[in-house]
Amino acid sequence: MKSGEGLKNVKRMSVPFAPVFNWSVGNWMEQFFDGLKQKKILASKCAACGRVYLPPRMICERCFDKTEEWVELPETGTVETYTMAHVGVADNGELEDLPEPQIIAMVKHDGADTCMAVRVDAQDCNVGLRVKAVWNAEPDGVLDALSAYRALD
């Protein structure tokens, strides 16, 4: 049944609607982003079990304690898995073909117990590849602070 089908005396009208949203990333991700502004990679740590989360999480997934300790991690890590992306998301939210395929990898930073999805600039990528964060010299907002990761020499 189509919407409105079977109803009598239904009048339809269009109403212009331009919603504005204020969205918060939450306290933990805010601290993470504040760290990126200072070129620091901050992870949250569970005091109960010692698990280190990057990106940070407020609640430990193992013991459900609040992770209230912060640790700065090195810029280095290891590729745990990866894929080749051929499309990206345009500014308008639509998918668009990328000019060049990009490597998107799950990287576990040294000292972390979890992985973070990042772009890797490398000729070849493989599981176990050692990588290092590359800071964007002129970031276009905090999300752009880490431009990509490159293979360690």
> Cβ of residue 42: shortest distance to Zn ion, in angstroms?
18
Q: Give the interface segment with Zn ion, choosing from 28-36, 50-58, 69-77, 85-93 (CB under 5 A).
A: 50-58
- Measured from the CB atom, the residue of 25 and 48 that comes closer to Zn ion is 48
Q: Return the number of the residue (44 or 146) whose C-beta is nearest Zn ion.
A: 44
Could you say whether residue 87 binds Zn ion (CB under 5 A)?
no
For 68-100, b/e burial (b = at least 16 CB within 10 A) is eebeebebbbbbeebeeeeeeeeeeeeeeeeee
Question: Is residue 63 a contact point for Zn ion (CB under 5 A)?
Answer: yes
Considering the complex, what minimum distance in angstroms separates the CB of residue 152 from Zn ion?
30
Chain centroid to CA 128:
20
**How near is the Cβ of 62 to Zn ion at its closest, in Å?**
5
Cis omega (within 30 of 0) for bond into 16: no
The Cα 80–Cα 151 span in angstroms is 13
Among 25, 49, 58, 98, binds Zn ion (CB under 5 A): 49
Cβ atoms of residues 84 and 102 within 8 Å: yes
103 part of the interface to Zn ion, by CB under 5 A:
no
73 DSSP β-pair partners: 41
Does 58 bind Zn ion (CB under 5 A)? Our answer is no
Nearer Cβ to Zn ion, position 37 or 62? 62
How many CA atoms lie less than 13 Å away from 150 in the CB half-sphere? 6
Member of 46, 107, 116, 146 binding Zn ion (CB under 5 A):
46
| Nearest alpha carbon to residue 79 among 128, 44, 124 | 128
Binding region for Zn ion (CB under 5 A) = 46, 48-49, 51, 60, 62-63
